[in-house]
């Protein structure tokens, strides 16, 4: 349902400006999930390992550890008692998406640690520190790698001239954009290649993380949205609350049984983007039939110009504050405490 409470109780917020020290009772990382596979009967091949060297004979045969997920954790020194908060990035990205902004401001990870969350920052299967498997021997195909030009329009920073001989001068940001435009090239540097057949492996690894944690809240983005909704539909007892930042789809799930308190956040300038218009329709339909699903359309509460990567936009702390407030209220009712 459309959540109308934002105007009244939430949006007259005091701007939070805490940049005090970050204090952790522990931090570290681990890899979770995945499987071991064997390759046999592969031919040897030669490779020059460094410039000017002699070719070395290499052999692909043997065991591989694949489809595991890298998880970095930051546990607040004074935890807020609301349980783990898992960050799940979008397509072509890694956990770095939540750590910082392209212009060097603080990302959401710092914000949520300061608010007492135990933060788990993941690189989905096949991306970043999770590694990837040999192909075509194990995985069927090689990755898709996005151009900088595609990133500009796909993340709704603005429009670029059509055609594939595009130069940066032809990019035109939305007039109201809150993306830190001068740092766009820095944003492009954080994008990584992605595969297109690994959804099940990604979901399995997050399920393994939930099994380790017991239950958790999830903040996810874009590609991760439909995967996290699917996981919540199947395991409502393990996902306490779910925040989906512009989910890139709504999965085919039994909406009658969906019961995870869910907040879907939408940015601005969707009217200019036919793909996002269609996605918004699907999202509004989902929230209209699922009592526990709420949509927060940022322009409707007065936050204008937010891109598809609103966790990096110049008002990213304001949005973090809205999300944190929603999580706190929903988890208070979840645990039976007064909000």
- Asked whether position 274 contacts a copy of itself by CB under 8 A, the answer is no
Q: Which of residues 301-330 bind a copy of itself (CB under 8 A)?
A: none
Those residues whose C-beta lies under 8 Å from the C-beta of residue 303, and which sit 6 or more positions away, are: 178, 268, 315, 318, 319
- Asked whether position 255 contacts a copy of itself by CB under 8 A, the answer is no
Residues in contact with a copy of itself, counted by CB under 8 A, come to a total of 73
Q: Which of residues 200-219 bind a copy of itself (CB under 8 A)?
A: 200
- Asked whether position 144 contacts a copy of itself by CB under 8 A, the answer is yes
The rounded Cα 15 to chain-centroid distance in angstroms is: 24
For residue 69, what are the β-bridge partners?
A: 32
Among 110, 217, 241, 297, binds a copy of itself (CB under 8 A): 110
Among 11, 129, 159, 170, binds a copy of itself (CB under 8 A): 129
Cα–Cα distance for residue pair 18/35, rounded to 1 Å: 42
11-14: which pairs have CB atoms within 8 A and are 24 or more residues apart? Answer: 11/301, 11/302, 11/322, 13/318, 13/321, 13/322, 13/325
Closer CB to a copy of itself, 51 or 175, in the complex: 51
Question: What is the per-residue burial (b if ≥16 Cβ within 10 Å, else e) of 106-136?
Answer: bbbbbbbbbbbbbbbbbbbbbbbbbbbbeee
- Asked whether position 172 contacts a copy of itself by CB under 8 A, the answer is no
Angstrom CA distances, 207 to 115, 200, 214, 268, 310, stand at: 25, 10, 10, 32, 26
> Whole-number minimum distance, CB 79 to a copy of itself, in Å?
12
Closer CB to a copy of itself, 194 or 294, in the complex: 194
Those residues whose C-beta lies under 8 Å from the C-beta of residue 37, and which sit 6 or more positions away, are: 63, 64, 66, 133, 138
- Asked whether position 147 contacts a copy of itself by CB under 8 A, the answer is yes
> Whole-number minimum distance, CB 16 to a copy of itself, in Å?
17
- Asked whether position 136 contacts a copy of itself by CB under 8 A, the answer is no
- Asked whether position 51 contacts a copy of itself by CB under 8 A, the answer is yes
Among 16, 99, 273, 300, binds a copy of itself (CB under 8 A): 99
* Residue 115, CB-side half-sphere exposure with 13 Å CA sphere: 21
Closer CB to a copy of itself, 137 or 272, in the complex: 137
Those residues whose C-beta lies under 8 Å from the C-beta of residue 206, and which sit 6 or more positions away, are: 69, 86, 88, 122, 124, 227, 228, 231
Among 28, 81, 214, 291, binds a copy of itself (CB under 8 A): 28
- Asked whether position 77 contacts a copy of itself by CB under 8 A, the answer is yes
> Whole-number minimum distance, CB 175 to a copy of itself, in Å?
24
> Whole-number minimum distance, CB 164 to a copy of itself, in Å?
4
Region near a copy of itself per CB under 8 A, out of 7-15, 101-109, 268-276, 311-319: 101-109
- Asked whether position 133 contacts a copy of itself by CB under 8 A, the answer is yes
Cβ atoms of 126 and 63 within 8 Å: the answer is no
> Whole-number minimum distance, CB 203 to a copy of itself, in Å?
12
């Amino acid at each position: 349902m459309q959540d109308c409470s934002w105007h009244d109780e939430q949006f007259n917020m005091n701007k939070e400006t805490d940049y005090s020290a970050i204090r952790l009772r522990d931090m570290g990382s681990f890899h979770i999930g995945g499987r071991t596979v064997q390759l046999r009967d592969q031919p040897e091949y030669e490779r020059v390992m460094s410039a000017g060297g002699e070719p070395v004979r290499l052999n692909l045969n043997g065991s591989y550890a694949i489809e595991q997920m890298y998880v970095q954790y930051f546990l607040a020194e004074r935890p807020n008692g609301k349980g783990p908060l898992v960050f799940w990035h979008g397509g072509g990205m890694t956990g770095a998406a939540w750590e910082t902004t392209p212009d060097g401001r603080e990302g959401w990870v710092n914000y949520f640690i300061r608010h007492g969350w135990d933060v788990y920052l993941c690189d989905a299967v096949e991306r970043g520190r999770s590694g990837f498997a040999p192909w075509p021997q194990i995985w069927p195909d090689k990755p898709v790698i996005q151009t900088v030009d595609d990133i500009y329009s796909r993340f709704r920073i603005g429009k670029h001239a059509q055609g594939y001989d595009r130069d940066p001068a032809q990019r035109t940001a939305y007039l109201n954009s809150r993306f830190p435009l001068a740092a766009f090239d820095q944003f492009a540097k954080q994008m990584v290649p992605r595969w297109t057949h690994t959804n099940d492996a990604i979901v399995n690894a997050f399920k393994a993380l939930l099994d380790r944690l017991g239950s958790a809240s999830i903040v996810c983005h874009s590609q991760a949205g439909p995967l996290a909704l699917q996981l919540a539909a199947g395991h409502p007892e393990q996902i306490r609350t779910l925040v989906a930042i512009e989910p890139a789809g709504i999965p085919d799930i039994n909406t009658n049984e969906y019961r995870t308190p869910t907040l879907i956040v939408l940015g601005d300038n969707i009217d200019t983007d036919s793909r996002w218009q269609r996605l918004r329709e699907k999202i509004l339909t989902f929230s209209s039939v699922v009592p526990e699903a709420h949509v927060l359309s940022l322009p409707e509460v007065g936050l204008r110009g937010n891109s598809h990567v609103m966790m990096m936009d110049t008002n990213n702390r304001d949005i973090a504050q809205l999300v944190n407030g929603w999580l706190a209220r929903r988890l208070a009712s979840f645990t039976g405490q007064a909000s």
